[in-house]
Amino acid sequence: MFTGLASWGVFLILGVSSLLLLRTALVEGPLWFRDYGLYGMQYGARQIFAQAVPDILRQHPDTQVLITSTWANGTDNFLQFFLDEEQRSRVRMDGVEAYLFKKLPLTTDMLFIMTASEYGKAASSPKFQQVLEEGQILYPEGTPGFYLVRLEYAADIDAIFKAEKEARRQLVDAVVTVDGEPVQLRFSQIDMGAPELMFDNDHFTLMRGLEANPYILEFAFQQPRLVSGLEVDFGLVDITLTVTLYPADGSPEVTHTLTRRAVTDPQVLMGWEDDPVEATRVRIEILNVLSGETANIHIRELKLLP
């Protein structure tokens, strides 16, 4: 009798404890770790795609929804998983950063779902005369994780973007080490990497141009340097490569041009061994022939051949 009661008592205690533990995990679990972004829990897929987006599409038949992709990996897969074909026709993965970088088609029928940091950038930017918040998606601990926003460009947006574009065309100065010697380098602006990565003998590292096409590199040597060619790894791209050498003896500059189309070898070897130049400066222009006025030029490795 006593053994039976004891067994039931133990069972009851364990059962209640299990239920309490389950409740704690479900209710308080999301609060144990509070990094909800890309490098944490990547919170928001169900809240955005299963809840917010269907409600928006149903309530606003003319609205196009643009969802930022910066908060999780593979966010485009959520479109296929959560939304049907008709819903997907009115939703795309796109963020406010693109609209801050250059002027893009923008109407009040477009509703952005953006992170809190992106909302802060939009709200403080002079590029928008209206940043209209229509709702929030909260993180488990109650802070805003995402904002639902409609945007309108400022009246002088064309002048703002024109001034920024002109500023981005200015070359940047740096000192790099080439074959053990310090070299003054002027180069088009970048959005990834650093100039030193062109000379680290590692083809897995790179420097990427922000938008300049052609991308420009200008080397100025402390002492004249004999240059008979160029070896570059751009990755796979169709390019026209123009190299201008400025001889140390003051004679006219020498220009060599190479166009490379539809090839699979990422490395480019360009030489003028029969007519090497002792140069004080070298200017390199890299044109992506498949792109227009702007392109992200990748440079993995670069060698000036003696």
Task: List, for residues 144-166, the tens digit of each pLDDT value.
Answer: 999 999 999 999 999 999 999 99
User: Predicted confidence band at 54 (pLDDT cuts at 50, 70, 90)?
Assistant: very high
Who contacts 151 (Cβ-Cβ below 8 Å, separation ≥6)? 96, 99, 106, 110, 112, 122, 128, 130, 131, 132
What is residue 15's predicted lDDT score, i.e. its pLDDT? 77
What is residue 18's predicted lDDT score, i.e. its pLDDT? 78
Architecture category of domain 169-305 in CATH: Sandwich (2.60)
Q: Domain boundaries in the chain?
A: 45-156, 169-305
Task: List, for residues 205-223, the tens digit of each pLDDT value.
Answer: 999 999 999 999 999 999 9
**Distance between CA atoms of 245 and 248, rounded to whole angstroms?**
9
User: Predicted confidence band at 176 (pLDDT cuts at 50, 70, 90)?
Assistant: very high
User: Predicted confidence band at 2 (pLDDT cuts at 50, 70, 90)?
Assistant: low
pLDDT (average), residues 291-305: 92
**C-alpha angle 210-216-218 in degrees, rounded to nearest 5:** 130
Ranges of H-type helices in 95-156 = 96-101, 116-124
**Distance between CA atoms of 130 and 256, rounded to whole angstroms?**
51
Task: List, for residues 18-28, the tens digit of each pLDDT value.
Answer: 776 777 666 66
Token digits for 42? 């990547």
Label residue 22 exposed, middle or buried (CB < 10 Å: 0-12, 13-18, 19+). Answer: exposed
